[in-house]
Amino acid sequence: LERIQRRILERIAKLELQLSSSSSDDAANDATAVRLSGILRSNGVNDFKFKVVPSDYYERSLEARRDLLSAPSIHHLCKSIVLVNTQARSDVIDCSNRYNSKYYVVVVQYTARFNAETVKNYLYTLNQGKVPKKKFNLRLAPEEISNNLTGFEHNAVTCIGMKTDIPVILDEAIVKLSPDFFWLGGGEIYLKMGIRTSEFIQFVKPFIFSCSAA
């Protein structure tokens, strides 16, 4: 009997822990959605929505994720990746010059393969050849750097409300999507944000070019 009681108490404690963790996650999701909504609305963005996804979201197929978000297709599911220029000149240490920044955030589709070489070529052209091509080498930023720069964890990264004003690159394939409303991270691991592409572009003012392969 004692063993059964102990087991019951252990199960109750476990359930309480799960509930407490779940309510703290809910509070974080709500607070982040409110904060980002405020930023979006004050910058003229009105066509957006937030959706909380289940804890097994990242284990699910893209088709299942599409259904959870009521997205038009799997191609409308996107992610934000922080890049670092590992070969930047010694005086390029931050994001103060968007044409030659130490860091960039690139938004690409989950169904596409990011091509760093296209970013290198684009930035070289953008700087009109004044910066040698060898001074551009874009790589995935280490997680700790990404967290510190954006204020968002892995799987939560979004280019709205970042701690640092990092220049954004939007893959051209996303602009061509129909309907023009795509999904990306929402600032918390299990919070996703859907946004009208034209309004996103007007607010974020990203560089737009093809930087992926299907």
Residue 175: band (very low, low, confident or very high) from pLDDT cuts 50, 70, 90: very high
What tens digit of pLDDT does each residue of 85-99 get? 999 999 999 999 999
d(CA 32, CA 152): 10
Written as six digits, the tokens of 127 are 């700087």
CA distances from 29 to 41, 60, 146, 156 (A): 18, 20, 20, 11
Residue 15: band (very low, low, confident or very high) from pLDDT cuts 50, 70, 90: low
Buried b (16+ CB within 10 A) or exposed e, 65-88: bbebbebeebbbbbbbbbbbbeeb
Straight-line distance from the first to the last Cα atom of the chain, in angstroms, rounded to the nearest whole number: 61
Residue 52: band (very low, low, confident or very high) from pLDDT cuts 50, 70, 90: very high
d(CA 186, CA 52): 9
Residue 21: band (very low, low, confident or very high) from pLDDT cuts 50, 70, 90: very low
> In the chain, which ranges are continuous DSSP H helix?
2-42, 62-69, 116-126, 143-150, 172-175, 197-204
Structure-token match 């289940």, residue found: 54
List, in order of start, the domains of the chain with CATH numbers: 2-213 (3.90.960.10)
